[in-house]
Structure formats: C-alpha cells, structure tokens
C-alpha cells in the first residue's frame, strides 16, 4: 500500500481532496489497474451504530461489531470491492485478494490510529460450502464505501472513505460526494436518525426438526463418542420465530449491545434484506502489535438468582469433572491446530469463569508472539471450527454435525471479523445469533456433547441460551 504524506484533517479543502483523487487517477493510468483510494479523517466522537441507523439500506451490505467492555465499535457499509470464495482454500484465496488489493491502494490520513485505513470485512460460514440458495456464501469479503469507528474512551472517532479510482472517473462529481460525506461525519446530526424498535412477543416458535429431535441427536452423538469416533461433538438447535411486525436488525442490535457489554454485538447484512445478528462471547483470534490472542471457551452453567446461589454455581463449574474435561479438549485442540506455526503459547494452568448476563463459562485466554510474515487468515484457517463449536477430532465431529443437525448452519458458529492494512485484525465466532428475514428470525443455540453428557440437561442448556436470545429479538 502506498501512503501519501498528506493529512486530510490539516488539508481539509475540496481542492486538496480533488488533487489527491487526481493523483490516484494518474496512478491508475500509469499501472493500467484501478486504484483503491482510502481517506481517513479523525473526527469528534461518533456512535457508529447511530451513523449506520441513519443511512441503513436493506439493499446494501453492512458489517457492524461492537464490544462495549473493550471500548470499540466499527461500522462499514456499501461495498466498493467484494469477493466471495468457497471450498477448503477460501481463506487462502481471501488472503491473496487482500494482498492484490493493497498492492493497488493509495491511502492518506492518520493511519497509525485504530481502524484507520482500508479494512476488509469478512463473514465466513461454518462449512466450507454454502447450501443452495443460502442467504450468505461460504465466505464473503468486502471493502466498505464508508467506515466509522470509535476506540478507547470514544472521544475521537475515525471516518474512512474508500473509492475505486480509474482514469476516466468524473473527479469533480466524486470530490463533491466525498466532501459532503466527510462534512456530515464531522458534525453528525443524530436527531434525524429513525427509531428502530423490536417486535412484540413472537406469535409462533417452531423447532426445526420437531419436538424431541435434539435429545435424539444428543443420544446418537453419545453413541458415536462411546464407539471412539469422537471425543466431543457440538450440536446445535434452530428455532424459527414469527412475529406480526418486521424485525429491524439495528433495533435488536442496540438492545444486544446494552444487555451484553462483555460480548461482541454484531450485524452482518447480505444486501438482500437479510441480516445475521447476535452477541457472542467467543473470540476466535486477534492479531495486533505482533501478537496473537485467542481463547478456550467451553464448559457452561447458568447464573444464580442470588449472590450466594451464583457463587455456588461458579464453584461447582470450576470443579465439574465433565466441564473441565470439555475445556481441556478445546485447549488441546487449539494447541494441535497451531503446532505447525511454531508458536510458544502462553496460557494459565487453570481456567477462570467468564460470567455473562444469563450464563457463565470456563474461559482460558491464550496468546503468543507471531513470527514475521504471519497472517491473521492463516490463524483463522487453522482455528476454525474450534472444538468449542465443532468438536474433536475435527473431521469426524463436523461430519457428525452434518448428519445429526436437521438444518444448515450458514453463518452460525462461523468466523466473522476484519483484516486491516497492516495484516492485523480480529475475528469472533458467530454464536448466540439469529438470521433475520422480515417477520421471521431463525435463532440458534448449541451445546458441547462429551462422555457423561445428559440429553435432557444439554437441551436445558440450549433452552437457557434461547431464552436470552428471544428476549433480545423481541419485547417478550
């Protein structure tokens, strides 16, 4: 990527903007290839979700993620570049697309700041192939026309405009549009944003696969585990909710980010009126400043109704032989999958408890120094699907999921996130999630099955997860 020594904030005039775009057009003419022009500007504090609400279009791609406990939020919409891939090489192909794009990118602005410069937003399905007529491909990557983010205490935000420049681009018209957008971001008017509420309680909830199907699937999984085919199989349920009012993904998202500050609240739109939304506690991997961060999240228990009950449940979880064994399976899987990279993994000897609003999990952070040239998508390719959402050994566990679940997962439990121009980024796992489509929402919840699992108890765990998700989707 070529970085020009131009500060758009200090050179904030239409003439300076047009001169930059003209330079990009000249580069396109000289190379014979379109150039991605990326303009980053530091602006006063913005709420990225409010910005997304104000320009929301169901016919446009968007990607939004926020983790309030870590103080960041980013929204991107309206693709200027888009790429799709499927099959076992989908992440390698995405990595190549990003490299080719950055070879033909010219950027200006405070690129040292978080979320400045071009970002590549990626939504990957659980499986390497998407089902026929699926709402999302097995992998979609896009560079947004505009991106807004905040980080840290939120006092400063970064607005990014991305454009594809060709020699014949009408520079005066494009300059006027970009200038108007950046002017809007510098003094954003929240009063014009619409109010997106949530539907009332669902009039119908249908279990996909029928009543009792999940308990039967768990029983079948336990038989395969007893036969030594797998050590762990993660089985999910799907419920379809129907309401009298249309769901609006951003209305639900606003509730999720307030209710689950410790989670990644997210919305991914396909540009055809459907959105995949959720609040997931599980990070897949983060790369920043030469370090990799991932985690093991497995072993679950409900929250108590009182402080004493909650503390007793937490203690029981920390000493549960079944849950600790399930947790060790996930850690061992991560260690094996990253072994060929020669990383020296750093992790605590015993897990801690991650407490969320309605459930608590055994949790072990894992980090390591990365070697030069390591790419975040190399890590995503190795880690997905984790043993926490797929099982172990990976191949027979995933094959069992395909046989035993009566639906295609789509983006459920898939890797969602972004790659920045430095090769860093962050991916999370799309659990505690739902696919929204008009007046219907398909909600997903799963549980890890190991030796000693009880079908009715696993069903009860998924019921707990469904309850929280349905409350977030509706005003129930």
- Residues forming the active site: 232, 282
Q: Are 271 and 61 in contact (CB under 8 A)?
A: yes
Q: Are 361 and 299 in contact (CB under 8 A)?
A: yes
Return the closest-CA partner of residue 446 out of 404, 415, 476: 404
Question: β-pairing, 105-108 with 2-3?
Answer: parallel
Query: Three-class SS string for 382-407?
Result: HHCCCCCCCEECHHHHHHHHHHHCCC
Return d(Cα 62, Cα 358) in angstroms, integer.
29
317: left (phi over 0), alpha (psi -120 to 50) or beta: alpha
Q: Are 82 and 137 in contact (CB under 8 A)?
A: no
Return the closest-CA partner of residue 409 out of 202, 162, 234: 234
Return the closest-CA partner of residue 63 out of 82, 44, 88: 82
Return d(Cα 171, Cα 16) in angstroms, integer.
12
Within 10 A of 97 (CB to CB), how many other CB atoms are there?
A: 17
- By CB atoms closer than 10 A (0-12, 13-18, 19+), residue 194 is exposed
How far from chain centre, in Å, is Cα 383? 15
């Amino acid at each position: 990527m070529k970085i020009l020594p131009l500060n758009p904030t200090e050179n904030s005039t239409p003439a300076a903007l047009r001169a930059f775009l003209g330079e990009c057009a000249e580069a396109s003419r000289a190379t014979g290839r379109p150039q991605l022009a990326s303009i980053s500007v530091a602006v006063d504090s913005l709420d990225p979700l409010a910005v997304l609400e104000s320009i929301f279009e169901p016919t446009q791609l968007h990607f939004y993620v926020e983790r309030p406990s870590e103080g960041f939020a980013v929204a991107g919409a309206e693709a200027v570049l888009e790429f799709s891939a499927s099959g076992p090489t989908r992440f390698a192909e995405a990595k190549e697309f990003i490299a080719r794009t950055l070879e033909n990118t010219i950027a200006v602005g405070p690129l040292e700041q978080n979320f400045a410069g071009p970002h590549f937003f990626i939504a990957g399905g659980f499986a390497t192939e998407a089902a026929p007529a699926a709402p999302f491909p097995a992998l979609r990557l896009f560079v947004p026309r505009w991106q807004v983010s905040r980080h840290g205490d939120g006092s400063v935000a970064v607005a990014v405009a991305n454009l594809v420049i060709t020699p014949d681009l009408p520079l005066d018209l494009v300059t006027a549009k970009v200038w108007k957008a950046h002017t809007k971001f510098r003094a954003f008017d929240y009063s014009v944003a619409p109010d997106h509420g949530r539907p009332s309680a669902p009039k119908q909830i249908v279990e996909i696969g029928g009543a009792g199907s999940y308990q039967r699937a768990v029983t079948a999984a336990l038989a395969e585990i007893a036969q030594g085919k797998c050590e762990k199989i993660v089985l999910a349920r799907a419920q379809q909710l129907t309401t009298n009012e249309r769901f609006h993904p951003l209305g639900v998202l606003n509730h999720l980010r307030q209710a689950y500050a410790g989670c990644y609240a997210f919305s991914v739109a396909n540009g055809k009126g459907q959105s995949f939304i959720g609040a997931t506690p599980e990070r897949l991997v983060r790369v920043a400043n030469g370090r990799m961060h991932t985690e093991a999240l497995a072993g679950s228990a409900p929250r108590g109704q009182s402080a004493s009950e909650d503390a007793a449940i937490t203690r029981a979880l920390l000493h549960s032989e079944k849950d600790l064994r399930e947790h060790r399976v996930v850690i061992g899987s991560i260690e094996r999958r990253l072994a060929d990279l020669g990383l020296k993994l750093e992790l605590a000897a015993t897990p801690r408890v991650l407490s969320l609003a309605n459930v608590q999990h055994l949790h072990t952070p894992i980090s390591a120094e990365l070697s030069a040239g390591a790419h975040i998508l190399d890590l995503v390719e190795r880690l997905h699907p984790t043993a926490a959402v797929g099982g172990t050994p990976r191949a027979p566990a995933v094959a069992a999921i395909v046989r035993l679940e009566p639906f295609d997962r789509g983006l459920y439990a898939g890797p969602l996130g972004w790659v920045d121009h430095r090769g860093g980024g962050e991916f999370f796992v799309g659990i505690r999630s739902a696919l929204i489509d008009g007046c219907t929402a398909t909600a997903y919840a799963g549980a890890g099955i190991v030796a000693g699992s009880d079908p009715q108890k696993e069903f009860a765990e998924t019921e707990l997860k469904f309850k929280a998700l349905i409350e977030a989707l509706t005003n129930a």
